[in-house]
Amino acid sequence: MLNRIKKCALSFKAAFSGIFSAVNDEAHLRFHLTAAFYVIILGLIYGLSAAGWTVIILLISAVISAELLNTAIEAVCDETNPEYSPLIKIAKDAAAGAVLVLAIGAVVIAVILFGDTTRLYASAVFVISRPWLLILLSVSVIISVVFTALGPRGILRLCRKKKK
């Protein structure tokens, strides 16, 4: 029994290691995570229904999972054949295309979910009428741009350079 628990814990550790590695190395994944963050914020302000939240959570999970699979496919392709290969290019392009198709579908569904212009306007008024929330969102945009562009390792490197 204890062996099973240990094996399960190691599996979770490996999975989280893969996620963190991909977040550090893949700007597209960081972009999708940032987009998911803002969709969640909008959902909270907009007042999504339980069904709406279910759809949003499924879409975010699907897009992030697809991006992780794309990263895995690219890593395997690069490791098995570091030189240019037309077949490897097809595999990598198809994997990236799968993420793109899913992301476009997610955007279309989000437009449908957030399509009530009256509620959208009310959400905008809610934010605009609270300066502290506007400031918080503005700061989060700056942090998100830096996170997406540099990633956690890049931010740490930047912080270390400034300390010296």
Per-residue pLDDT averaged across 81-92, rounded?
Answer: 93
Q: Which string of b and e fits 56-67 if b means at least 16 CB within 10 Å? A: beebbeebbebb
Count other Cβ atoms within 10 Å, centred on residue 85.
13
> Residues 36-59: pLDDT tens digits?
999 999 999 999 999 999 999 999
The type of residue at 154 is G
Q: Provide the CATH topology of domain 30-129.
A: Helix Hairpins (1.10.287)
Q: Any catalytic annotation for residue 79?
A: no
Catalytic residue among 26, 67, 74, 79: 67
pTM for the whole thing? Answer: 0.89
Please give the structure tokens belonging to residue 96.
């990236």
> Residues 92-147: pLDDT tens digits?
999 999 999 999 999 999 999 999 999 999 999 999 999 999 999 999 999 999 99
Please give the structure tokens belonging to residue 150.
């540099």
Taking the C-alpha atoms of residue 78 and residue 127, their distance in angstroms, rounded to an integer, is 45
| Domain map (residue ranges) of the chain | 30-129, 131-164
Taking the C-alpha atoms of residue 110 and residue 142, their distance in angstroms, rounded to an integer, is 23
